[in-house]
Structure 1
Amino acid sequence: MAEFNTARIRELNDRARRTFTGCRVVLTSGIAELDDTAVQQILAQVRSYDQFNPDNDPYGEHDFGSFHHDAVQVFWRWDYYDLDYSMHSPDPADETVTARVLTIMLAEEY
């Protein structure tokens, strides 16, 4: 298995998650069906998420998060593709060969 620069992956993930730039953001149907206020609040919670620990971030990449918004549990996660979105990225630490996709979903949709 290839080893990647974890600190760089974490930096790229955090920057993209906080700004929603340098990535695609996908909302699942469960999130999209919530009212606009809830969606905006969820997006703000994703951007400000900082609850990383060894249990939910064992590789230190800041590539997954979970929180409750009102009565629903929300998950978000990163996927890394090549620039054509046809295969996994050859190196998620290299933004010149990686297309980041941030998916925000209800836990029940995972």
Structure 2
Amino acid sequence: MTPGVADFDALIMMKIQAAIILFNDFTEDIDPYGQHDFGAFSVDVNGEDTKIWFKIDLYNPSYNAGSEKPDDTTQTRRVMTIMLPSEY
């Protein structure tokens, strides 16, 4: 997670985690290739809707480059980044 997300308290972090686990709003706008590797949603932070993004990237086992065979789980490591849009 990015520093802006890490600054939230434990209750907000639980809301964010739950929203990611339950996320299923993969529209063509945010998922044009059907890869389900990006999501955007809002959580209530002190009475304000705060936009959160998550992104999943596919790396090789050394984490130093993209995976050459993304559908091979023995050669691919998935990394999720949780961020505020302003941190992109």
Q: TM-score, normalised by structure 1?
A: 0.74
Moved >2 Å (runs of 4+): none
Q: Greater strand percent: which structure? A: 2
Which AA in structure 1 matches 2:83?
M
For residue 53 of structure 1, report the CA deviation from its aligned partner: 1.5
Please give the alpha-carbon distance, in whole angstroms, between the structure 2 residues aligned to 1:94 and 1:64. Answer: 20
Q: 2:80 aligns with which of 102, 106, 110?
A: 102
Match of 2:19 in 1: 45
| Bigger relative contact order, structure 1 or 2 (CA pairs below 8 A, ≥6 apart) | 1
Structure 2 residue runs without a partner (length 5+) = none
Match of 2:6 in 1: 32
Match of 1:23 in 2: none
Please give the alpha-carbon distance, in whole angstroms, between the structure 2 residues aligned to 1:92 and 1:82. Answer: 9
Q: 2:51 aligns with which of 73, 86, 96?
A: 73
The SS at the match of 2:4 is: helix
Please give the alpha-carbon distance, in whole angstroms, between the structure 2 residues aligned to 1:107 and 1:73. Answer: 7
Identity fraction in percent: 40
For residue 91 of structure 1, report the CA deviation from its aligned partner: 1.4
**Equivalent residue pairs, number:** 84
The SS at the match of 2:33 is: coil
RMSD: 0.8
Please give the alpha-carbon distance, in whole angstroms, between the structure 2 residues aligned to 1:34 and 1:93. Answer: 34
Tell me the alpha carbon deviations over residues 40-96 of structure 1, each in whole angstroms, 9 at most, x when there is no partner.
110110111000111111100100000011231100001111000011100111111
